[in-house]
Amino acid sequence: MSAVDEAFDSALASLRERYISAMGGPVVELKKFAVLCEFDEPGAEVTAAIGQLAHRLGGTGETLGFPEISSTAAALERILELGRQSGDAAAAARALARACEAASGSGQDVKTVADSDLPPKIDEIAEDLPPILPNFVAIQADAALTKLLADVCAHRANVTSLAACADAMEFLDHNPADLLLLDLDCPGCAPEGVAALHRKARASDIPIVATASHRRSAAILHALSEGEIECLLKPVEAALLHRKLFETLERRRLTAIVCDDDPLIREFLKPRFEARGFRVVLAKDGDELLELAGQVRPSIIVLDRVMPGMDGLDVLRQLKSKSATHGVPVVLLTSRNQPQEVADGLRSGAAAYLSKPFSPDQVLTKCLEILGLAKTQRA
């Protein structure tokens, strides 16, 4: 297990403990609702609020290791949707309350916390993780450039130095790379090798920065890459090399928008995507997602199917109706996995449909598969 995985699992265990200690709020509300159902017909507003609570618990319980919470929450949500008798709703609410109490390990004296504290945030996970540095592959034979690159990338990137384009081609077959740096003065950077490497890098969306002593070499590179690669003429200053490398990396960096009304789901997915090099933007509802999607140009969107306000399918249809976001793949997350609902999502333009509960790795793997990057991202 990698250091990142160990740190994530440790932080996740801490989150699970905090999640358990925060069960008091749902337990109290569920028991109050059950009593109300036994003595009166609950109003639409109360029923909707409990439905949202059940939906939230159903989506996160099994993910954090509590399948009983997810199954009983799904049963309650379904009963409320069908408008069944109050007695059925009361029994389902009590069953979910018992599952939440059982998860606490005590069955009683569960700590009650404010709604603003539920679910607990996972920001600390990102802080506890060791930094994930980008991987640069450099083809060079210039000692001065090698030292300059080491100084520029210190603590900001991992650098693998190779002798020739052919070595890089073989390296990329088995290892991830976030950026290639080519020294055109290196004997291993013959034009035909550079052209082949550029084709391979372009297929995997790996950016390239080059250096050269002569404008003629830069012009040849410009022609070989159809203007896609910028070449820096030597001598290269450290500040310029640093700016070009990391500006190029940032321009090609994958961006994911995660939209879910449950903050736990948003913050639960964020560190896993960031550990694979994604820039992650979070949205709490459909309106915020539509606004952000027009600003950040996402590579992929993870979207909750059921949210208060604008439904996930309506958001999906709007995304597909706009030229700027029409081609962005969207993965729908939902606790509703009936065949007709899945078909509606796919018909509306979803690239994939994942049912809650899920693991962060399931969502990440599906996104990487859709982007065609499953074999080139860090494991």
Token pair 């640069």 is found at 136
Q: Which regions in the chain score pLDDT beneath 70?
A: 1-12, 14-15, 84-86, 105-132, 336-337, 374-379
Q: Same domain, yes or no, for 183 and 89?
A: no
Instruction: Note whether residue 214 is domain-resident.
Output: yes
Q: For residue 81, what are the domain limits? A: 19-120
pLDDT of residue 223: 82
Instruction: Note whether residue 338 is domain-resident.
Output: yes
Instruction: Note whether residue 14 is domain-resident.
Output: no
Instruction: Note whether residue 260 is domain-resident.
Output: yes
Coil vs helix vs strand at 35: helix
Instruction: Note whether residue 5 is domain-resident.
Output: no
Q: Please spell the DSSP secondary structure of 356-371, one letter per residue.
A: SS--HHHHHHHHHHHH
Q: Same domain, yes or no, for 241 and 266?
A: no
**H helices present in the chain, as ranges:** 3-21, 24-39, 44-60, 67-82, 86-104, 123-128, 143-153, 165-174, 191-203, 215-224, 238-252, 263-275, 286-296, 312-321, 339-347, 360-371
pLDDT of residue 106: 44
pLDDT in tens, 164-210: 999 999 999 988 888 999 999 999 999 999 999 999 988 777 889 99
Instruction: Note whether residue 125 is domain-resident.
Output: no
Token pair 């994942």 is found at 354
User: What is the separation of C-alpha 216 from the centre of its chain, rounded to a whole number of angstroms?
Assistant: 43
Q: Same domain, yes or no, for 140 and 246?
A: yes
Sign of the CA dihedral 144, 146, 149, 153? negative
Q: Take residue 76 and report the two structure tokens written for it.
A: 């309650």
Coil vs helix vs strand at 267: helix
Coil vs helix vs strand at 156: coil
Cα angle vertex 122, ends 312, 135, to 5°? 90
Q: How far apart are CA 160 and CA 137, in angstroms?
A: 5
Residue 274 belongs to domain with CATH number: 3.40.50.2300
37's CB contacts (< 8 A; 6+ apart) are 86, 87, 89, 90, 93
Q: How far apart are CA 66 and CA 376, in angstroms?
A: 33
Q: Same domain, yes or no, for 275 and 199?
A: no
Domain boundary residue among 252, 287, 313? 252
